[in-house]
Amino acid sequence: MPGTSPDENTETPGNATSERPPYHPALIATAVALPVALLVGVLVAAVIVLRGPAEREPLALGPVPAPAADGPACSALLPALPADLGDFTRSTLVDPAPPATAAWQRPDGGDAVVLRCGLDRPLEFNRASPLQVVNGVQWFEVRDDTAATATWFAVDRETYIALTVPDGSGPTPLQAVSDAITAHLPAQPLDPGELPN
């Protein structure tokens, strides 16, 4: 036909096809695999959320002298302690646990916040010791730089209470424990030791 090039295909009713070329196998595999992977991801996330955080191992704490651990002050305080101290949640202790003791850890474990009740007066606590009042409780601090912790002693109650906190814990553990102490143990006059010679 004049005006048409020999390369041009002209469709005639006899050679027209209505079929499309088949899809590439990789495209089909992706179309099937993507929804399946999405479904598996949703199921795994649901299981993690329903199961909650992984269980931590029980925490082993060594005993310390606590002559008043079985006394009325500790019996009143221990059940009143909060389940959470900021990022720290209550830990299970390895049996036999020291009496009148509680601990909290972050969800991933690590260094614990440890409370011990019924202790003797700390040797370092004397008339010249600096005190800090937190939510109505007078605390005396003893630092342990090698362990990167501070132990705070409540010194104005019927018995001495120690709260050991790892560095970087923030103020919440001390504040929350102070609230529990203030609510359940009346303040007592201070009884510091003698000044060292």
H helix count then E strand count, the chain = 3, 8
Number of domains in the chain: 1
pTM: 0.72
Tell me, yes or no, whether 191 lies in a domain: no
CATH code at position 178? 3.40.1000
Rounded to 5°, the CA angle 134-61-138 comes to 15
Contact call for residues 53 and 107 (beta carbons, < 8 A): yes
Return d(Cα 177, Cα 82) in angstroms, integer.
8
80 within a domain of the structure (yes/no):
yes
Determine, yes or no, domain membership for 92. yes
Q: What is the pLDDT of residues 135-192, one digit of tens each?
A: 999 999 999 999 999 999 999 999 999 999 999 999 999 999 999 999 999 999 999 9
Residue 23 domain-assigned (yes or no):
no
- Mean pLDDT (10-residue bins), the chain, 197 residues: 52 55 68 64 54 70 95 98 96 95 94 98 96 98 95 98 97 98 98 90
pLDDT at 76: 98
